[in-house]
Amino acid sequence: MSDAMHRPNATSGIRQAIFDYASTRLDYDPTPLDGPRTNAELLALAGQTITEEGLGGEKALGVFAEVLAPATISTDHPNYLSFIPAAPTKAATLFDLVVSASSIYGGSWKEGAGAVYAENQVLAFLAKECGLPATAGGVFVQGGTLGNLSALVVARDQAIEKHGRKNWAIICSSEAHSSVKAVAKVMDVAVVQGDASATGSMGKAAALAALASAEAQGLTPFAIIGTAGTTNFGILDDLAGIAQVAQEHELWYHVDGAYGLAGILAPELKDLYAGIEKADSFIVDPHKWLYAPFDACALVYAKPELARATHTQHGEYLETLNHSGDFNPSDHAFNLTRRVRGLPLWFSLATHGIAAYREAISENVLLTRKIADEIKSRDYLKLVREPQLSVVVFERLGWVQKDYDHWSQELLESQFAFVVPSSHQGKVNTRFAIVNPSTKHEDLVQILETMRYR
């Protein structure tokens, strides 16, 4: 029976049905927004799906298509405006099917040379765009948290090599992503934050103050993080000023650009990223603003050989790879087995060209600024901060948390939009995170109108 499961005819009855379902999903314009159900509701509708006998492919697909899929929110819906959405191109989504069907091991050059070559071209393009040397390189990992962890472990190793073991600390903005604290907990190091409360951006003075605070606490900073686009506001730190601090104090300079680094492709935003060329490492998540499917984070090092010294794993069965002299992706992050998650982005870039990406990002930025002006023109709304990239944060005057909650739920139940409350410095607000080229100005205006009379 186990052998039969892997024979081509084992899936012949369901293969076309799955292709048809995927094709139908890709043809939606727009995709259905859908929404969550309770566990009890799903149990009543789907029942027990894992059984000794099996449901059969057609019935299992039916359960997914009719019950499970509608109980998930489509992040690629044009009016999914919460958190940081995903809006993969059709080319990237289609090629993700190819990646899954191809069963490529992406950890070593020996086993996945062609796929790794393609991924490396994308990494080289990103490194060049940021001004890193041609010798820069890295790997696609699962997400920004793993990317940050992998880079900062390399940074600590370099510090230990120079100074021995210390009470280490990471310097970052008070607006840095939550993953920095999570990474520090895993690494058992401290986090000292530079105050960014006034503007949302950590500048050189705040970074120096954080450095002095760390040293006063008996901590030794080994890395400093510049944020290229905060998740909540889409604001960039002073990357050039932080680069100077890193250089003057011999700190590893890591740039967390999980969401916002993609903005460097827009010519009108390029100057905001001055200083990133000095980074020792950076990350950017293509599943956020580079129109790729989940899960993909590009992790790039200026000197990838330092990452190899930290991350290469050793074992009797691995030494044939370690001694080959090949570029093995798994040597550059906290991973070993990996899928070639960079290939959908490669295929989309190869299909559409970089210029199409620049245009799409620029259009997102233009739409953000246009809706910010619309917000400022309405007396019942307040723009919290001028947008820098493609996130706009605003308040409905007079509302408290329960008002935002009810409004958000009504929007989702109407199947028009998914916009959740957020907050800043303890004050509730909401936000549009615009990364989908299909998002329309008139829809955003209509959402604002729903806030007028409630």
**345-367, pLDDT tens digit by residue?**
999 999 999 999 999 999 999 99
Is the CATH code 3.90.1150.10 the one for domain 96-352? Answer: no
Bridge partners of 392, per DSSP, are 432
Residue of 298, 301, 300 lying closest to 289 (CA atoms)? 298
- What one-character-per-residue DSSP string does 147-213 give? HHHHHHHHHHHHHHHHH-S--EEEEEETT--HHHHHHHHHHT-EEEEEP-TTTS---HHHHHHHHHH
Task: Kindly tell me if the per-residue pLDDT of 1 is higher than 60.
Answer: no
381-385: strand order across its sheet? 381-385, 391-396, 427-433, 421-424
Q: What is the pTM of this model?
A: 0.95
- Write the pLDDT tens digit of every residue in 81-140: 999 999 999 999 999 999 999 999 999 999 999 999 999 999 999 999 999 999 999 999
CA distance 185 to 79: 35
Which tokens sit at 112? 């996945």
The pLDDT assigned to 5 comes to: 63
Tokens of 312: 């290469």
Average pLDDT over residues 209-227: 98
Buried b / exposed e along 56-66 (16+ C-beta atoms within 10 A): ebeeebebeee
CA–CA dist 440, 447 (Å, integer): 11
Compute, in degrees rounded to 10, the torsion defined by CA atoms 307, 313, 316, 317: -100
Centre a 10 Å sphere on the Cβ of residue 427 and count the other Cβ atoms it contains: 9
All CATH 3.90.1150.10 domain ranges of the chain, comma separated, are 354-449
In this structure, what is the dihedral angle of CA atoms 296, 371, 369, 85, given to the nearest 10 degrees? Answer: 0
Q: Which part of the chain is CATH 3.40.640.10? A: 96-352
- pLDDT, tens digit, for every residue of 173-206? 999 999 999 999 999 999 999 999 999 999 999 9
**Tens-place pLDDT, residues 431-449:** 999 999 999 999 999 999 9
Token couple for 100: 């899954």
Calpha distance 394→128 (Å, rounded): 35
CATH topology of domain 354-449: Aspartate Aminotransferase, domain 1 (3.90.1150)
* Residue with tokens 């935003």, as numbered in its chain: 269
- Residue that wins the pLDDT comparison between 317 and 398: 398
Q: Are strands 421-424 and 168-173 parallel, antiparallel or unpaired?
A: unpaired
pLDDT, mean of residues 285-298: 97
